[in-house]
Amino acid sequence: MSNAELNKLKQKYVANGAASPATAFADHAENAEVWDADGNRFIDFAGGIGVLNIGHRHPKVVAAVKAQLDKVMHTCQTVMPYEGYVRVAERLSHLVPVRGHAKVMLANSGAEALENAVKIARAATGRSNVICFDGGYHGRTFFTMAMNGKVAPYQTDFGPMPGTVFRAPYPVDYHGVSEDEAIRGLMMTLKTDAGPANTAAIVLEPVLGEGGFYPAPASFLEKIRIICDELGILMIIDEVQSGFGRTGKMFAIEHSGVEPDIMTMAKSMADGMPISAVVGTDKIMDASGPNSLGGTYTGSPTACAAALAVMDVFEEENILERSQALGEKLAKRFHQWQARYDAVDNVRHMGAMAAFELVSDKHAKTPNAELAGALCKKAREEGLILLSCGMHGNTIRFLMPITIEDDVLNEGLDIIESCLEALTD
C-alpha cells in the first residue's frame, strides 16, 4: 500500500488522539535509515524516541528474537516462568547502580515501570505522596500523567488527575532556575504541600528528556540523595530516556556517583521490543506481597531475548565509547552553528544525549518554538527525521542510533545546516 492509501485508512480508522500527524509510513529500516511505503529514504535522528541506541534491527537482536520465536512466545511469567526473565533480572541487578543488592521486576512500557516504582515505594515506606519536577515526563497512564511536569497535550482532555503528586522546580540555569533555587523549591514543596512524613518518593530524570535535554548538576543529585536519606524518602531515578548508553555511560546517574533506591528503564533496553524494568534495593523491591506486581505480558520471552542480546552488544561493540565520541562530534557541529546563526544557542550534551535551543533573541534567551517546528518540518521534507522537545518547545534533540555510520551522520547534519540556512536570516 502507498503512503496515500495508508493515510486514508488512518483518517478513517485510527482515533484522533493516537493518529500521528506524519504522513510517511515506515516500510523497512536498517541501523539509522528508514524507507517509507513509497520507497523514499529517511535518515533517522529520532530512533523511535530514544529506543534504537544500537540501531534499527541490530542483527544480533534480530537473531535472538527469531531463535526465541522458535521456542516459546508466551506463558505469562506468573503462570510458568522462563529463563529469559530471570537472566534479564540477574544481568540488570549487576548493571544498575542502586544501593546494595538489587532485585528486578519487568513490565512493558516506561509508564508501566514508573507506575510500579511508585507502588513499590508506597509499599516500602507506608507513605503515599510523590514529588516530581517541572518539565519532567513519565508517561500517559493516569498516575504518570499526573507526574508529568507539563500539562498540554498529556493532561488537557483527561482531568481530574490523581492526587498525591506534588511538584518542585528542576534546575535549568539557562532559563533562570539555579540549583539553589531548585533545592529551595523542593524544601518548600515538602514543607507546604507534600509533608516529609507523608512522602514516599522523589522521582526525577537525571537528564530531562521530553522536558528539554537539561542534565541535572551532579551536586543537585547529591543534595536530593541527602534530603531523601534525612527524611526517609526513597529516591527514584527515571532513566527511561537517558539509559542504555545514551549519555556515554550505561545510565546517566553514573556521571554523578549517586546511588538511587529505585531506577526505571525502558526504550533502548531491547532495541524496539516492548519491555521495561524497575530495579531497586532488594529490601525495597520485596516490600509488596506475593502476586502484587506483574501483568499478562510483563517481561515477555521475546522481549527478554532482545534485552539480553542488547546487553551483549553493549559489551561487545564499545557502545559507550561510541556514544561519547558521537556526542563530541555533535557538539562540535552545534557550536559552529551557534557561532554562525543568531537563532542557535545553549548547546549541551552528555555523551550522545545532545541538544541545542532555538531562540528569537540570544541575549534575552527568548525561546522560538515556531522555528523549532519549522526546522523539524523542513528536515522531514528533505529526508531527515528530527525531533524537538522542551518545556518551551524550542529544543532540537538528537536521538539517532549511537551506531550511525559517519557518512549518514554527516549527511543528516548537512540537511539541518541547509534548513537553518533557509529558515534564518
Ligand X SMILES: Cc1ncc(COP(=O)(O)O)c(C=O)c1O
Q: Which residues lie near ligand X (CB under 6 A)?
A: 49, 109-111, 114, 137-139, 205, 209-210, 238, 240-241, 266
Q: Which of 372, 409, 368, 371 lies closest to 388, judged by CA?
A: 372
Record the cell numbers describing residue 405, joined without a space.
555510520
Pick 278 or 331: Cβ nearer ligand X: 278
Nearer CB in complex with ligand X: 260/337: 260
Smaller CB separation from ligand X, 19 or 231: 19
Give the nearer residue to ligand X in terms of CB position, either 267 or 333: 267
For every residue of 148-199, DSSP letters joined together read: -S--TTTTTTSPSPPSSEEEE---BGGGTB-HHHHHHHHHHHIIIII-GGGE
Residue 250 corresponds to which cell in the numbers above? 550505561
Q: Report in angstroms how near the CB of residue 117 gets to ligand X at its nearest.
A: 10
Report, in Å, the least distance between residue 238 CB and ligand X: 5
- When the beta carbons of 111 and 304 are compared against ligand X, the nearer one is 111
Q: Which is nearer to ligand X, 3 or 242 (CB)?
A: 242
CA distance 53 to 320: 10
State which residue, 109 or 368, has the beta carbon closest to ligand X.
Answer: 109
CB of 269 to ligand X, least distance (A): 10
Neighbours of 225 (CB within 10 A): 19
Closest approach of ligand X to the CB of residue 133, in Å: 11
136 conformational bin, left if phi > 0, alpha if psi -120 to 50, beta if neither? beta
CB 176 to ligand X: min, Å = 23
Nearest to 304 by CA among 81, 101, 139: 81
What's the CA gap between 118 and 215, in Å, rounded? 23
Closest CB 181 distance from ligand X, rounded Å: 23
DSSP string, 208-257: -TTTT--BPPHHHHHHHHHHHHHHT-EEEEE-TTTTTTTTSSSSGGGGTT
Work out the number of other CB atoms within 10 angstroms of the CB of residue 297.
Answer: 16
Q: Which three cell numbers stand for residue 333?
A: 557541529
Closest approach of Cβ 179 to ligand X, in Å?
20
Report, in Å, the least distance between residue 19 CB and ligand X: 17
Q: Given the complex with ligand X, which of 247 and 338 has the nearer CB atom?
A: 247
CA 247 from centre of chain: 11
Pairing type for strands 234-238 and 199-204 reads parallel
User: Quick check: 48 and 389 in contact, CB under 8 A?
Assistant: no
Contacts of 398 (CB under 8 A, 6+ apart): 45, 330, 352, 353, 354, 355
Shortest Å, Cβ 111 to ligand X: 3
- As a whole number of angstroms, the distance between CA 47 and CA 57 comes to 11
Looking at the Cβ atoms of 114 and 258, the one nearer to ligand X is 114
For residues 254 and 348, give the distance between their C-alpha atoms in angstroms, rounded to a whole number.
18
Shortest Cβ contact with ligand X: which residue?
Answer: 110
Cβ closest to ligand X, residue 368 vs residue 388: 388
Instruction: Give me the least distance between CB of 15 and ligand X, in Å please.
Output: 17
